[in-house]
């Protein structure tokens, strides 16, 4: 399995002092225990049970301590660099604001989603930006100013003009952890109902009826012209740069069979129960949106995450477009499943497994000290403190 690559430079160095979180409810892989967790040199050095509070320890007062959260697919960075349509916000402060926002919600490892594949011309044009933004993000990482761990997630738009040219600009040194295969051709997958697409794109790009129809026709033309070549090329590029493959919006068993043949590790937001069941049979992990859990359904009219959870078909959560949704949705799953460790694993251990990051994702000795202290305010989890590699970042 491909695993994310590292580039020159390191995460912010781990603090040298010892940290002890005591009188906490530690959410382990399969159980919750009362105990204390000790951190040395940025890693978990010891876990012991009991309610005692050693001198110098942080008294957690019975709060939960969980592993730092994983975010595999977030549009949040794009929201910061383009807070309004056609508004290009200065990128460095946007990246720092995005980094700080994620840290405040308990996310300590993020795969920043960047679109690759552009469409030139018209009001619905999409210009290249991923290479430049990746350079800026990686430069900030090398300066040791980011609070949490950042990897790249390249969203490969099959229905575009320049996908393979843009992918060629990335290499194994670029810390690309995920490449997802996106086909947003109208009339299938997420936009089987084109009225949903019209509502979305007309609002975002200000298209009238004629402009929308022209946009749809152009997308279908691009898919017919480039679709097969772009899909095969993107799969090959994932292997070249060392990225884990993800599918997007699988709707039918045939979609899932294609994903399996490509070597896809996890499916982002399958739109039907049929697709989720096929993923389980194919050994492909299923990821659903945390906002879907919280809202009780998909804003696009697709399958509800709660239905997949009830059927045992939900493995991973993504905050998608609301970073704070990740922890809240995990606690909602815990209530539905009556199993907090299982629910927390959807935002920690399972995403760590599918992306090949074996050094984090669970509370175990030797693992990175990516930690979140959580207070339960009724059914709502409140982030009290966050540590990334043993350094407090929120």
Tell me the mean pLDDT in the region 332-354: 98
Tell me the mean pLDDT in the region 83-112: 95
Q: Mind spelling out the 3-state secondary structure of 47-100?
A: EEECCCCCCCCEECCCCEEEECEEEEEECHHHHHHCCCCCCCCCHHHHHHHHHH
Residue identified by tokens 């930690």 is 371
The answer to whether the CB of 211 falls within 8 A of the CB of 124 is yes
Query: At 222, is the pLDDT very low, low, confident or very high (cuts 50, 70, 90)?
Result: confident
Q: How far is CA 373 from CA 165, 320, 347, in A?
A: 44, 23, 15
pLDDT at 6: 41
Residue identified by tokens 């993107």 is 234
Q: Among candidates 162, 158, 70, 142, which has minimal Cα distance to 112?
A: 70
pLDDT at 298: 83
Contact partners, residue 372, CB within 8 Å, separation at least 6: 65, 66, 67, 68, 69, 106, 108, 327, 383, 385, 386, 387
Q: What would the pLDDT profile of 304-330 be if each residue is shown by its tens digit? A: 999 999 999 999 999 999 999 999 999
pTM, 2 dp: 0.90
Both tokens assigned to 191: 């936009």
Contact partners, residue 111, CB within 8 Å, separation at least 6: 71, 72, 73, 74, 151, 152, 153, 177, 178, 355
Query: At 16, is the pLDDT very low, low, confident or very high (cuts 50, 70, 90)?
Result: confident
Q: How far is CA 380 from CA 5, 78, 185, 388, in A?
A: 36, 27, 38, 23
Both tokens assigned to 70: 């994983």
Both tokens assigned to 260: 């399996």
What are the extents of the domains in the chain? 68-360
Q: Among candidates 197, 203, 183, 184, which has minimal Cα distance to 123?
A: 203
- Percent of the chain with pLDDT strictly greater than 70: 88
Mean pLDDT of the chain: 90
Backbone angles phi, psi at 335, to 5 degrees: -70, -40
Q: Mind spelling out the 3-state secondary structure of 92-135?
A: HHHHHHHHHHHHHCCEEEEEEEEEECCECCCCCCECCCHHHHHH
Contact partners, residue 182, CB within 8 Å, separation at least 6: 117, 155, 156, 157, 158, 159, 248, 249
Query: At 221, is the pLDDT very low, low, confident or very high (cuts 50, 70, 90)?
Result: confident
pLDDT at 1 over 50: no
Both tokens assigned to 93: 């402060």
Instruction: Tell which CATH classification among 3.20.20.140, 3.40.1190.20, 3.30.565.10, 1.10.10.2520 matches the domain 68-360.
Output: 3.20.20.140
Tell me the mean pLDDT in the region 214-234: 81
Higher pLDDT, 225 or 104: 104
Tell me the mean pLDDT in the region 265-284: 97
Q: Kindly state the helix (H) or strand (E) to which residue 370 belongs, with its residue range.
A: none
Q: Mind spelling out the 3-state secondary structure of 161-186?
A: CCHHHHHCCCCHHHCEEEEEEECCCC
Tell me the Ramachandran region of residue 366: left when phi exceeds 0, alpha when psi lies from -120 to 50, beta otherwise. left
């Amino acid at each position: 399995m491909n695993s994310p690559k590292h580039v020159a430079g390191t995460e912010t160095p781990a603090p040298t002092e010892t940290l002890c979180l005591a009188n906490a409810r530690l959410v382990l892989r399969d159980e919750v225990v009362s105990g204390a967790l000790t951190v040395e040199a940025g890693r978990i050095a010891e876990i012991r049970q009991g309610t005692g509070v050693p001198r110098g320890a942080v008294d957690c007062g019975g709060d939960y301590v969980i592993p730092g959260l994983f975010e595999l697919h977030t549009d949040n960075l794009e929201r910061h660099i383009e807070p309004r349509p056609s508004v290009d916000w200065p990128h460095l402060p946007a990246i720092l604001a995005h980094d700080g926002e994620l840290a405040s919600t308990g996310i300590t490892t993020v795969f920043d989603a960047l679109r690759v594949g552009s469409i030139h011309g018209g009001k619905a044009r999409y210009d290249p930006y991923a290479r430049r933004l990746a350079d800026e993000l990686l430069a900030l990482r090398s300066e040791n100013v980011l609070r949490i761990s950042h990897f790249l997630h390249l969203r490969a738009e099959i229905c575009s003009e320049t996908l393979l040219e843009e992918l060629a600009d990335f290499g194994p040194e670029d810390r690309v952890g995920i490449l997802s295969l996106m086909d947003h051709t109208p009339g299938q997958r997420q936009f089987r109902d084109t009225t949903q697409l019209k509502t979305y794109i007309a609002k975002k790009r200000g298209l009238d009826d004629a402009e929308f129809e022209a946009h749809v026709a152009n997308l279908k033309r691009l898919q017919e012209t480039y679709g097969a070549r772009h899909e095969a090329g993107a799969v090959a590029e994932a292997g070249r740069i060392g990225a884990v493959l993800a599918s997007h919006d699988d709707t039918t068993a045939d979609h899932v069979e294609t994903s399996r043949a490509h070597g896809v590790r996890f499916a982002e937001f399958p739109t039907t129960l049929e697709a989720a069941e096929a993923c389980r049979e194919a050994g492909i992990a299923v990821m659903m949106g945390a906002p879907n859990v919280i809202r009780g359904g998909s804003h696009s009219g697709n399958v509800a995450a709660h239905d997949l959870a009830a059927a045992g078909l939900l493995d991973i959560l993504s905050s998608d477009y609301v970073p704070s949704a990740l922890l809240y949705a995990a606690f909602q799953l815990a209530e539905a499943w009556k199993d907090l460790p299982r629910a927390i694993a959807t935002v920690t251990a399972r995403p760590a497994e599918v992306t090949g990051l074996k050094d984090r994702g669970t509370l175990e000795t030797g693992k990175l000290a990516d930690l979140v202290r959580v207070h339960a305010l009724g059914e709502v989890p409140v982030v009290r403190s966050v540590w990334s590699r043993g350094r407090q970042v929120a």
